[in-house]
Amino acid sequence: MRLILLGPPGAGKGTQAQRLIVKHGIVQLSTGDMLRAAVAAGTAVGLRAKTIMERGELVPDEVVIAIIADRIDQPDAKRGFVLDGFPRTVPQAQALDRLLADRGLKLDGVIELKVDEGILLRRIEKRVAEMLARGEKVRADDTPEVLKGRLSAYRAQTAPLVDYYANRGPLRSVDGMASIDEVTAAIDRLLGSARAPKAGSRRRKVKAAGTTKRTVRKGAPRRKRSAAAKRKNKPGQRKKRTRRS
Ligand code: AMP
């Protein structure tokens, strides 16, 4: 299974990616984590990325594309992966399309975590204040000031990917403001319904609670009613009415 998680910083992509890798036996490919590791190791890429990341700006496309191209060829990524924080620009998405096509691979889905940026910012401000009060270290790019810059980078450079993938088909959205478990359940439903149709089957879209759309097989058999449900209201039997006094 190959997935992309899309959403602004703080939307919960990392948390959901962690759950997906356990459930599906795939790996999480977070360009943010890889860049932070490069910064910590003091590699050439790390030296180039450090100040850009501290400002909350995006590292040049060619740098992250090279990192991902190398990473998806590693043996542990053969069973599948969830991309967290990549792609972040249209050129990155186009490069990913080429990387996958060259390898004869396809995406199984792009999941957008929809969030309210105002609430997100207040959550981060609160979390940072609590961490500082406890004397803990805060990530250099996790302060409210830098986060504002990261959010505006998301709006300008990454949000266009929603249309990019919506036009190509694999985009599905979930309410990222719901609880962590509810978001996980909504993603599970999307992935279950995305995989249910057999090749060549016709699809129609229906509304699903907690998701903006999902696909089901047209003409798929209805779920059987339980024996209790049948006893309660047999075919041809009218429902009992309770008279109002
Ligand atoms: P993240 O942990 O995904 O929020 O990423 C932290 C920082 O790493 C971002 O603010 C960017 O500076 C950089 N970064 C991570 N992924 C990318 C990417 N795909 N393209 C450009 N910069 C990235």
pLDDT, residue 17, reads 96
The residue extents of the domains of the chain are 2-26+79-199
Phi, psi of 234 (to 5 degrees): -65, 150
Active-site residue, 78 included: no
Whole-model pTM: value is 0.77
Kindly give the parts of the chain with pLDDT less than 70: 193-245
pLDDT by residue (tens digit) across 73-91?
999 999 999 999 999 999 9
pLDDT, residue 170, reads 85
Dihedral angle computed from the Cα positions of residues 130, 132, 136 and 138, in that order, rounded to the nearest 10 degrees? 100
- Give me the CATH topology for the region 2-26+79-199: Rossmann fold (3.40.50)
pLDDT by residue (tens digit) across 170-191?
899 999 999 999 999 999 999 9
Catalytic residue among 139, 155, 195, 205: 139
pLDDT by residue (tens digit) across 199-229?
444 443 333 334 444 443 444 445 555 555 4
Catalytic residue among 13, 50, 172, 214: 13
For residue 141, give the ligand 1 atom closest to its CA.
Answer: 10
8 A C-beta contact, residue 83 and residue 29? yes
Active-site residue, 150 included: yes
Phi, psi of 68 (to 5 degrees): -70, -40
Between the CA of 154 and the centroid of ligand 1 the distance, in Å, is 10
Residues with Cβ < 8 Å from 50, sequence gap 6 or more? Answer: 39
Phi, psi of 83 (to 5 degrees): -85, 125
